[in-house]
Each structure stands twice: as C-alpha cells, then as structure tokens.
Amino acid sequence: MPFTLEQPKTVREALQRLADPTGGPSVPIAGGTDLLLDLDEGRVASTRVVSLRRLPWNTMRWESDRLVVGSTLPLARLGTDPAVRRRLPGLVDAVDAVGSLALRHRATLGGNLGRAAPASDVVPVLLALGATVRLVALSGHRDVPVGQFVRASRQTDLAPGELIESISVPAAPVSSYVWQRVRPANDVSQVGVAVARSDSPSGWHVALGGVLPAPMRVVEAEAMLTQPNPSEAEVEVAAQAAARRASFVTDKRATESYRRRLVSTLVRRAIARALRDEASR
Ligand SMILES: Cc1cc2nc3c(=O)[nH]c(=O)nc-3n(C[C@H](O)[C@H](O)[C@H](O)COP(=O)(O)OP(=O)(O)OC[C@H]3O[C@@H](n4cnc5c(N)ncnc54)[C@H](O)[C@@H]3O)c2cc1C
C-alpha cells in the first residue's frame, strides 16, 4: 500500500502528526528494519509514516548509576561504548546478537521494544536488568517497567499516538545474555537467556526470550539463586526451574521440547559467563 513519509523535527510536531486522523492511519518509524517489511508485506496498513529520525533522541547518557538511551539511538552505538561494555556487559551481549553490524547501525532500541517480538534478543536483558521505558504523548510523560510494556507479539502498553522517548537501564556489571540459533547470522534466536546480579536488593534476575506470549522473568529460578556466587547445585536447580516455568512453541526453528532443554543449558551458561567476566576484571 502506498504511504506518505513525514519527517518532523520536533517531538510535538511528531505527536501532532500521529494524532491527526486526516490522511489515514499513521505509524512511527525509527530504523525501519522491522516496519518496512511489515508495510511491504501488508502486516501493517498505514498511509502515513512518521519518521522519528530527526527527533533529538539519538542520544545516551549516564544519570548516576542508570544509562538513559534515547529511543532512536542505533544499537551499534551501545555495543561500542566502553562504559556500557564495562557497566552493562549483558546489554552489550544482547545488542551484539541482533542481526548483522549493518543492521545494528539502523536498528534502534525503541524499535525493538515497539515491535515486541517474542524472540527479541534485547527485551530479555532489559527485563533482567529492571529497565523502564519513558513514554511521551501530547498529554505528558509516563514511565513503565519493561515487563509491563511488552505484553505479547506486537502488543505493547503504547496508547494510540504515544511514543517511546527513552529507556532507562540500571548498571549491572555482573550480567550476560546467551542465545542459540540454527544459523548464527541473520536468524532469530530459538531461545535467549539473560541474567543480571543486583546489589539492591541483592539477588539474581533471570529472563527468557523465545517464549510465549512474550519474553519473561522467571522468579522461580531467581529464588534458587541465593548467593552472589551460587554453587553448581543451586545453578542446576535454577536452570531446571526456568525450563519448567516457560511456555514454548514448536515452529520451523525448534521443537517445544528442544527449546525447553536449551533453556536449562543456557541458564547455566549465562551465569557462568557473567561470573567469569567478573573474575577476569
Ligand atoms: C535481517 C534481520 C535480522 C534481524 N535480527 C534480529 C535479531 O537477531 N534479534 C532481534 O532482536 N531482532 C532482530 N531483527 C529485528 C529488528 O532489526 C529489531 O527489532 C530492531 O531493533 C527494530 O528497530 P528499528 O529501529 O528498525 O524499528 P522500526 O522497524 O522502525 O520499528 C519497529 C516497530 O516499532 C515501532 N517504533 C519504532 N520506534 C518507536 C518509538 N520510538 N516509539 C513508538 N514506537 C516505535 C514502529 O512503529 C514499528 O511498529 C532483525 C531484523 C531483520 C530485518
């Protein structure tokens, strides 16, 4: 379906255009790596596409111990920043897992959240890190935890006309993300596991991707990880708890039972990776 492309320079202008019903349904576009395919294949029917690329959201900054990422910052910028690599290694693992380097120079964090894919590599780590999403509308701002924002495939907490402005991520130097794919490049993860160790309150967070209806935290697994350096036995019990808890699908990439087995293996690997990384500093 043909569409017109609008390129507002201010946030207010973008919000006004999205709210304006004349000219048919509108949709925001950031990097376009998901949306252009959706428009092309008719999964999204919009006659007006509002680009966010000229808005002042191509930014990142530290606010005390939180990284605030503008929603249109290309993912590649996160992967190469030394402070992000040191303070949020799990986020860097996840960003590096997304597609190819060329894709990561266009794809954005806001777009990954906006698409809300069950197999997203980024959403699990944002869940494990306890990130929040800042939304903006003509009526004002609101902050939503990522776990409430992503509901199911293509379903988010965004109200009509609302945009993701930024994502706020608490630092977690002990964190990691591991994944499994049929083909490592340009394929979607069968399963992904993110872990992060938090100091306040102390404990581990464990989140899964490639599960239904959306990436999720598994508190049953987290409850088994009571020590900063859990024993092998504790990790094994947590891994089994994660595999039991999640709902998986059988599709062309993997069977339900294979995904379940993968989860327990990847939980073990993710914790080992985070602790190995800490020990090497
Ligand atoms: C070949 C290929 C490989 C890929 N590999 C991976 C992978 O390995 N892992 C992975 O997780 N993803 C992968 N993806 C998916 C995709 O690249 C990511 O989801 C990307 O982060 C989307 O960002 P974008 O800026 O391109 O979003 P866009 O395509 O611009 O937008 C995606 C959706 O979010 C909405 N949106 C965008 N920005 C905002 C905003 N600020 N506020 C509100 N709504 C917004 C749009 O309206 C649209 O619905 C792949 C895609 C392709 C084409």
The pTM (predicted TM-score) of the whole model is 0.96
For residue 252, the domain's CATH number is: 3.30.390.50
Residue entry with tokens 């402005």? 165
Distance, in Å, from the CA atom of 220 to the CA atom of 7, rounded to the nearest integer, reads: 46
pLDDT digits 0-9 by tens, 175-226? 999 999 887 767 788 999 999 998 777 799 999 999 888 999 999 999 999 9
Domain boundary among 121, 145, 170: 170
Angstrom distances, CA of residue 133 to CA of 4, 95, 144:
28, 17, 5
Query: What's the pLDDT at 103?
Result: 95
- Tell whether 37 and 84 lie within a shared domain: no
What's the number of domains the chain is made of?
A: 3
Q: Are residues 121 and 185 in the same domain?
A: no
Looking at this protein, which amino acid is placed at residue 214?
A
As a whole number of angstroms, the distance between CA 201 and CA 137 comes to 32
Query: Is 189 found in the same domain as 110?
Result: no
Beta bridge partners of 217: 207
Looking at the structure, tell me whether residues 117 and 64 fall in a common domain: yes
Confidence band (pLDDT; 50, 70, 90) for 160? Answer: very high
Q: Based on the fold, state whether residues 76 and 145 are members of the same structural domain.
A: yes
Tokens read off for 225: 């990880």
Instruction: Let me know: does 210 contact 191? Beta carbons within 8 Å.
Output: yes
- Tell me the per-residue pLDDT of 69-86, one tens digit each, with 9 for 90 and over: 999 999 999 989 999 999
Question: 108 in ligand 1 pocket by Cβ < 6 Å?
Answer: yes
CATH number at residue 29: 3.30.43
Q: Atom 8 in ligand 1: which residue has the minimum CA distance?
A: 98
Q: What is the pLDDT of residue 28?
A: 98
Say whether 54 sits in a helix, a strand or coil.
coil
Element holding 32 (H helix, E strand): none
Among 27, 29, 157, 253, which is best to mutate for testing ligand 1, by the most ligand atoms less than 8 A from CB? 29
Q: Tell me, yes or no, whether 85 and 160 share the same domain.
A: yes
Q: Above 90 in pLDDT, residue 239? A: yes
Residue 200's pLDDT is 72
DSSP single-letter state for residue 159: P
Mean pLDDT across the chain: 94
Say whether both 31 and 102 belong to one domain: no
Question: Within 10 Å of residue 238's Cβ, how many Cβ atoms?
Answer: 26
Q: Which of ligand 1's atoms lies nearest the C-alpha of 35?
A: 29
Residue 40 pLDDT > 80, yes or no?
yes
pLDDT tier, 247 (very low <50, low <70, confident <90, very high otherwise): confident
Element (H, E) at 41: none
- Together in a domain, 193 and 130: no
70 in ligand 1 pocket by Cβ < 6 Å? no
Closest protein CA for atom 19 of ligand 1:
112
223 and 132 in one domain?
no
pLDDT of residue 27: 96
- pLDDT score for 21: 85
Domain that holds residue 235: 175-279
Q: What is the mean pLDDT of residues 12-21?
A: 94
Burial of 276 (0-12, 13-18, 19+ CB in 10 A): exposed
Instruction: Give the span between the Cα atoms of 134 and 178, in whole angstroms.
Output: 27
- Measured from the CB, is residue 215 less than 6 Å from ligand 1? no
CATH number at residue 64: 3.30.465.10
163 lines ligand 1 (CB under 6 A): yes
Query: CA dihedral in degrees (226, 218, 66, 192; nearest 10)?
Result: 110
Longest Cα separation, the chain: 61
- If asked whether residues 255 and 201 sit together in one domain, one would say yes
156 CA from centroid of ligand 1 (Å) = 14
Cβ neighbours of residue 48 under 8 Å, at least 6 residues apart? 3, 4, 6, 17, 23, 24, 25, 26, 27
Same domain, 65 and 156: yes
Residue 246: predicted pLDDT? 82
CB-ligand 1 contact for 29 (6 Å cutoff): yes
What sign for the dihedral angle of Cα 35, 37, 40, 45?
Answer: negative
How does residue 5 score in pLDDT terms, banded at 50, 70 and 90?
very high
CA–CA distance from 174 to each of 51, 89, 228, 272, 280 (Å)? 36, 7, 10, 10, 11
**Burial class of 182 by CB neighbour count within 10 A (0 to 12, 13 to 18, 19+):** exposed
Please report the pLDDT score of residue 249 as a whole number.
82
Binned at pLDDT 50, 70 and 90, residue 22 comes out as confident
Q: Which atom of ligand 1 is nearest to the CA of 181?
A: 8
| Cβ of residue 34 lying under 6 Å from some atom of ligand 1 | yes
Answer yes or no: do 184 and 157 share one domain: no
Is the Cβ atom of 26 under 6 angstroms away from ligand 1? no
Whole-angstrom distance, CA of residue 90 vs CA of residue 130: 12
Can you tell me which atom of ligand 1 is nearest the CA of 154?
A: 49
Q: Does the CB atom of residue 110 touch ligand 1 within 6 A?
A: yes
The torsion defined by the Cα of 255, 260, 262 and 267, in degrees rounded to 10, comes to 160
